[in-house]
Amino acid sequence: MADVRLAGAGDEHRVKVRNLSGGGMMAEGHVKVTRGAKLEINLRNIGWVEGVVAWIQENRFGIAFVEDIDPKLAREPIVTRSDETPRFVKPVLAMVDPTRLRKI
């Protein structure tokens, strides 16, 4: 999955990433685009990449990147710092005073 932002429009749309290569990709989603439209796509582990719509077919469209990327980076798992404790393991910050709890 990735976010697409059309040039000039501030809204972002979620699309499925298909056939990712160094020079472009196919995206699938309900986004109104026209051939030749400039856009940016936020790829995992890479960030925002500029591109141009190369073709459109139903709810799929091709994007030609302005600069080549390394597609292997986008396929890798999301990198987290190993010295950082996962959020779901951390204790709750606000402690509840048991004397203030209401009995039901």
Is residue 23 a part of any domain in this protein? yes
Is residue 98 a part of any domain in this protein? no
Phi, psi of 59 (to 5 degrees): -100, 20
Is residue 97 a part of any domain in this protein? no
Is residue 101 a part of any domain in this protein? no
Query: Regarding predicted confidence, which is higher, 79 or 23?
Result: 23
Total domains, the chain:
1
Is residue 37 a part of any domain in this protein? yes
Query: Regarding predicted confidence, which is higher, 77 or 14?
Result: 14
**Residue 3 CA neighbour count, 13 Å, CB half:** 10
Whole-model pTM: value is 0.71
**CATH code of the domain covering residue 41:** 2.30.110
Is residue 95 a part of any domain in this protein? no
Locus of tokens 């709890």 = 101
Is residue 100 a part of any domain in this protein? no
**In terms of residue numbers, what domain contains 29?**
2-89
- Residue range 28-69, pLDDT digits in tens: 999 999 999 999 999 999 999 999 999 999 999 999 999 999
